[in-house]
Structure formats: structure tokens, C-alpha cells
């Protein structure tokens, strides 16, 4: 998982590029990494462009990261979901919890846009 910070309109946004699979084998690693990232900023974007498979453990890890961002007055947005991954979010109704964008740039820009006076 690659992670980088961007600043837009004075807001530091963390962008994490998720790997091909998010399942029971690596979901704990995502939760740990997310905790580290949230020490730097509560505003996160998960770029799911490379993500090809997600199971319930992976979905739970993402929801847990969202909850922790919200607790820190931040948010977690998703970007680049393919049809298979999007279907998991749709079938589980988890899609209602997230703002979902076609790409990470639009997701990051939405943080700055929502903070405009």
C-alpha cells in the first residue's frame, strides 16, 4: 500500500493506494496502517484502482478506518472502484456510508470544496 500526503486549500489529505486484494490475510495490516496515517491527517482517500478483490474482512477494515476518521472530525472517501468491488459495497449496503468518486484526484478535491466558505 502506497501512501502520500497532499495539501489542497490548507487541508492535508492522505491518499492510500490499495493493493489487488483486501481480505482476511491483510485486512489487519490495513487497519494498522490506517491508524498510522490518521496520526498525520483524518482526511483520507482510498484509491481502489488496483483493488480487484475484497471480502468481508476487507470491507470491515475499510469501515473501521472510516469510523476512526469520523471520530477525528475527518472523513474517508473511496475512489476508482471497479465493477466487482463496487458490487460488494452495493450488496452489503456499505456504499451508503461512503462518498465514492471515479478517481483519487476528484475525491481529494472534494475535501477542499466542502471546506469553502
Residue 86 has a pLDDT of 96
For 39, counting Cβ atoms within 10 Å of its Cβ (0-12 exposed, 13-18 middle, 19+ buried), the class is exposed
pTM equals 0.94
Q: Which domain CATH number covers 48?
A: 3.30.750.24
Q: How many domains does the chain have?
A: 1
Give the residue from 76, 70, 72 showing the smallest Cα distance to 45. 76
The ranges of the chain with pLDDT < 50 are 117
A 10 A CB-CB count for 15 gives 21
> What burial letters (b/e) apply to 79-114, b meaning 16+ CB within 10 Å?
bbbeeebbebbeeeebeebbeebeebeebbbbbbee
Contact assessment for residue 62 and residue 34, using Cβ atoms and an 8 Å cutoff: no
Enclosing domain of residue 7: 2-114
pLDDT the model gives residue 68: 97
**Whole-number pLDDT of residue 5:** 97
Amino acid at each position: 500500500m502506497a501512501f502520500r500526503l497532499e495539501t489542497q486549500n490548507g487541508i492535508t489529505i492522505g491518499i492510500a493506494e490499495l493493493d489487488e486484494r483486501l481480505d482476511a490475510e491483510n485486512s489487519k495490516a490495513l487497519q494498522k496502517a490506517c491508524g498510522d496515517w490518521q496520526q498525520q491527517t483524518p482526511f483520507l482517500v482510498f484509491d481502489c484502482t488496483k483493488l480487484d478483490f475484497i471480502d468481508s474482512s476487507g470491507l470491515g477494515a475499510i469501515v473501521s478506518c472510516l469510523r476512526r476518521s469520523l471520530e477525528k472530525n475527518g472523513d474517508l472517501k473511496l475512489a476508482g472502484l471497479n465493477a466487482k468491488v463496487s458490487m460488494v459495497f452495493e450488496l452489503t449496503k456499505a456504499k451508503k456510508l461512503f462518498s465514492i468518486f471515479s478517481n483519487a484526484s476528484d475525491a481529494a478535491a472534494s475535501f477542499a470544496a466542502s471546506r469553502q466558505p
